Chains A and B, each alone.
Chain A
Amino acid sequence: MSAKGHCLCGEIQELTRDFNGSIIGVLHNIQEKYGYLPENILREVAKETGFSLIDVYSVATFYKAFKLEPKGKHVVCVCTGTACHVRGSDKAVEELSRMLGVDPGDTTSDGQYSLETVNCLGACALAPLVVVDDHYQAQVTPAKVRKMFQEYAANSSEANLPAGR
């Protein structure tokens, strides 16, 4: 999925197809396609839509949903919403951050894991909640995080997480 090299005209056309005066939809398209917002694409899109580059860049950095760097192969996402916080999600974040050796928001140097935090996934009854590649892990504790993660790393090819209770 390299976004470099060849002519991007077709791709840019495709990405800006539903452009209606708002750049946010286009950025969503780009993110969906590449997993992040590559710089050269943003430059092309700015030209195509007539926005100044700095406006595109401002919007891209303002909103949390947009990433300017590629994500890891696996995304580990910890909910830090209020319900999860009062049930101790910060401990899970710390534990994961220690295990992966990255701060929340970063990706491991081997590009395998990204650690992210999110404000409420709307499943507060399961708090605290950790989501690994769309697998929900409910009511986690630091010890459970460790265990789950070791298992996960061991058989990540199958990518099957037990629904814990």
Chain B
Amino acid sequence: MINFTLNGLDVAVEKGFTLLEAAKFYGIELPTLCYNEALSPYGACRLCLVEVGIPGRSRLVSSCTYPAGEGLYVRTHSNRVIETRKLLIEMYLATCPGSKTIQDLASKYHVTRVRFKQKHEECILCGLCIRMCREQMQAKAIGFVERGGFRRISTPFEKKSEECRLCGGCMYICPACQARCQGPQEKSAVCNACLNLSPPCLERFDEMMCYMDPCVACEQNSRGEKSER
């Protein structure tokens, strides 16, 4: 067992626990966007920040990737954590305002203004879809490409991946809904199935599980019927 201090309490967790798991175990809630119990932790969204170390010599770390260590002094709701987290949520809201998940976060953490310029992106690059594809579906159809400000999620050579089985796991897990089918557009769609189906969708449609049901592009539902919208 690992003994450490969590928000002033002496706690003990099993070896191998991360700080996020420890906090959860003790009933402390931390916001997350890139974490899922079924997938390996990645530490990209930075929302699960906690302060580690004694006051004056502490730093903020992402609790989802930080292993619980003997004698740590951890605070999950210090002023520093709360302020930083609020600014991050503000930045999320300014970047990806269309996501319900992010809107909910903002309201829950009292983010009431956005001082940044408003953007309308659809992906926060949390990488959940990639890990889903890889770890749960064993497919490795999508991944990060490029880097820095240009980083995106895509398929090899921006074409439909041969490894993609159209399982739809990526769309299922996405917190910002980018991976939802956007119809036949080379740049944005991850599965791009509809691009490669000819004539559009009809024959092989029941292979495809579009989470937009019915699909906004081909206007068919998952049973292949034309919708009446």
Q: Give me the interface of A with B, judged by CB distance under 8 Å.
A: 39, 52-58, 61-62
Contacts and interface: CB of A to CB of B under 8 A. Distances in A.
Given A39-B157, A52-B140, A57 B145 contact: yes
A62 B156 contact: no
A133 to B, nearest CB: 27
Interface of B: 140-147, 155-157, 161-163
Contacts of B142: 54
B146 A54 contact: no
A56 B163 CA distance: 14
A53 B161 contact: yes
A58 B143 CA distance: 7
Residue among A56, A58, A62 with max Cβ neighbours from chain B (10 Å): A58
B146 A62 contact: yes
A119 B143 CA distance: 27
A58 B144 contact: yes
Given A53-B140, A54-B163, 18 more contacts: A39-B157, A53-B156, A53-B162, A54-B142, A54-B143, A54-B155, A54-B161, A55-B140, A55-B143, A57-B145, A57-B156, A58-B144, A58-B145, A61-B146, A61-B147, A62-B144, A62-B145, A62-B146
A109 to B, nearest CB: 21
Contacts of B145: 57-58, 61-62
Nearest to A63: B147
A58 B162 CA distance: 16
Contacts of B161: 53-54
A163 to B, nearest CB: 35
Contacts of B155: 54
Contacts of B146: 61-62
B163 A52 contact: yes
B137 to A, nearest CB: 13
B146 to A, nearest CB: 5
Contact of A57 (B147, B157, B162): B157
Contacts of A52: 140, 163
Contacts of A55: 140, 143
